[in-house]
Amino acid sequence: MIIDTLQNSNLYETMHSRFKQAFDFLKETDIDSLAAGKHEIDGDLIFAIINKYNTETPETVQLEAHKEYIDLQYVHQGNETLGFATLTSQNPIKDYDKKDDFQLFEQEYDSITLNKGMFSILYPTDIHAPGLVYKEKEAVVKVVIKISI
């Protein structure tokens, strides 16, 4: 897992062949003009999902993991807490859904706050619970870029 601000994205662009394209999308796109939902960048290899929601309490959010895609999650507006743990030998509480590329887990986790302008890069070994309340429930606009492994 990587946590940083968009202004430092150049430090990570060479870590994967599609990272630069993902960061360029975040820097060059008027996110406010995009509707919530999926936006194609390069077919199924890389696409963005614009999420607009209110943060939730830990009781309503579950840990998830992916196998086919790396998540680059960018907080465009608002603040949220991200729960995280390393995937080792945990048993999922929901089997892997290949169509939507996720499985769910239930366990204790650590957390970190992501403020406006920050991003996280979440690999398949990073179990994560996004969208958690920071200080109080608030509206968040987040761009999740799915990057094919």
Render pLDDT for 69-79 as a digit per residue (tens, 0 to 9): 999 999 999 99
How many domains, the chain?
Answer: 1
Return the pLDDT at 36: 97
Query: Domain holding 140: CATH number?
Result: 2.60.120.370
Nearby residues of 3 by Cβ (< 8 Å), 6 or more positions away: 112, 114, 118, 119, 120
Residues pairing with 110 in the sheet: 84
Return the pLDDT at 109: 94
Return the pLDDT at 79: 98
Residue pLDDT, tens place only, 14-25: 999 999 999 999
Q: Which domain holds residue 124?
A: 2-148
pTM of the shown model: 0.95
**Burial class of residue 7 in the structure, from the number of CB atoms within 10 Å of its CB (0-12 exposed, 13-18 middle, 19+ buried):** exposed
pLDDT interval class at 82 (50, 70, 90): very high
Residues pairing with 141 in the sheet: 52, 77
